[in-house]
């Protein structure tokens, strides 16, 4: 285990997160676009699934969704098969907000990342995809 590499990644991406937070201004809390990003990538899912995907607890996700529903970024749709559950879907407003956030992110991070070479981007992409695979909700269970 190369803990030092993971540690460096954790520290660096903390900085990246802070930087991104400043990019979007105070109007777009980090947890919201993270959730939107997951929903946009993986499609509608239940509260519990979303919590697992984001690796937060279910009550934490419920609370976050409360504010996101209020702001009409996502919609709760009743699950036909199980009336205890909800399907969370990104609303049109949510889609637009995510697009706007992405644009702002690109613009703000340009001074730091605008001049990367293709090889550098390839490295980042490989690392991102590697992490994504490893950190998928049930990767650890599947491996055992």
Partner DNA sequence: GCAAGTTATATAACTCCGGTATATAGTTGC
Partner DNA sequence: GCAACTATATACCGGAGTTATATAACTTGC
Whose CA is closest to 100, among 9, 33, 8?
A: 33
Cβ at position 40, least distance to its own copies in Å: 10
Query: Alpha-carbon distance 139 to 141, whole Å?
Result: 6
Residue span 38-57 as binding mask against its own copies, x where in contact by CB under 8 A, dash where not: x---------------xxx-
Q: Which helix (H) or strand (E) holds 37?
A: helix 30-42
Q: Which stretch binds its own copies (CB under 8 A): 18-26, 61-69, 70-78, 89-97?
A: 18-26
Residue 116 half-sphere exposure, CB side, CA atoms within 13 Å?
14
- What are the strands of the beta sheet with 74-78, ordered from one edge? 45-46, 86-90, 74-78
Residue numbers at the binding site for DNA (CB under 7 A): 14, 18, 21, 26, 29-32, 34, 46-49, 54-60, 62-67, 76, 79, 82-86
Residue numbers at the binding site for its own copies (CB under 8 A): 1-20, 34, 37-38, 54-56, 102-103, 105-106, 109-116, 120-121, 123-132, 134-135, 139-140, 143-144
């Amino acid at each position: 285990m190369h803990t030092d590499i993971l540690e460096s990644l954790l520290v660096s991406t903390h900085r990246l997160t802070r930087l991104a937070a400043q990019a979007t201004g105070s109007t777009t809390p980090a947890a919201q676009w993270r959730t939107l990003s997951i929903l946009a990538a993986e499609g509608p899912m239940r509260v519990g699934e979303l919590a697992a995907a984001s690796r937060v607890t279910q009550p934490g996700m419920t609370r976050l969704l409360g504010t996101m529903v209020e702001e009409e970024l996502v919609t709760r749709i009743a699950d036909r098969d199980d009336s205890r559950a909800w399907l969370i879907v990104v609303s049109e407003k949510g889609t637009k907000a995510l697009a706007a956030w992405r644009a702002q992110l690109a613009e703000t991070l340009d001074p730091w990342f605008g001049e990367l070479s293709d090889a550098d981007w390839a490295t980042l992409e490989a690392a991102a995809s590697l992490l994504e695979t490893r950190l998928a909700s049930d990767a650890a269970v599947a491996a055992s």
